[in-house]
């Protein structure tokens, strides 16, 4: 099993910036700053505060990452972005769907890589 440091390095090697989230000096999550192929900024926030999991446990990290992707659908992402007038000017629904499908595939492949 990979260490949390190895996991974070793999993510950063995929050109995703990782930021620690701390409360009162305690690491309780990570913010993964990603972009879709068309340049839409998608923040993935992995929060370990309320689940009794550890932000430094590799298994917990991968599980939380998988759960995040499972519970925040492409439809929800597109709906959130479509609330922005500039986004609606720049993307049709079809373009948005293709963009987010490619993004999701990339992120799910990253999760598979983390599990190896």
Q: For residues 15 and 100, what is the distance between their CA atoms, to the nearest angstrom?
A: 17
Distant-in-sequence contacts of 58-67, Cβ < 8 A, 24+ apart: 58/1, 58/2, 58/3, 58/4, 58/6, 58/7, 59/1, 61/4, 61/7, 61/30, 61/114, 62/7, 62/111, 62/114, 62/115, 65/111, 65/114, 66/111
Domain that includes residue 62, residue range: 4-115
pTM (predicted TM-score): 0.92
What's the pLDDT tens digit per position in 60-87?
Answer: 999 999 999 999 999 999 999 999 999 9
Q: How many independent structural domains does the chain possess?
A: 1
DSSP secondary structure, 8-77, as one string: HHHHHHTT-EEEEEEETTEEEEEEEEEE-TT--EEEEEEE-TTTT--TT-HHHHHHHHHHHHHHS-HHHH
Q: Tell me, what's the pLDDT at 1?
A: 80
pLDDT tens digits, 86-102? 999 999 999 999 999 99
CA 40 to chain centre: 13
**pLDDT of residue 51 exceeding 80:** no
């Amino acid at each position: 099993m990979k260490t949390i440091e190895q996991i974070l390095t793999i993510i950063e090697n995929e050109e995703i910036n990782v930021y620690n989230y701390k409360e009162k000096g305690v690491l309780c999550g990570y913010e993964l700053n990603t972009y879709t192929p068309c340049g839409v900024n998608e923040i993935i926030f992995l929060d370990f505060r309320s689940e009794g999991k550890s932000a430094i446990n590799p298994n917990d990290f991968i599980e939380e990452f998988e759960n995040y992707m499972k519970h925040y659908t492409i439809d929800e992402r597109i709906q959130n972005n479509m609330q922005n007038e500039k986004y609606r000017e720049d993307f049709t629904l079809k373009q948005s769907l293709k963009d987010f499908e490619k993004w999701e595939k990339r992120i799910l492949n990253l999760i598979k890589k983390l599990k190896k």
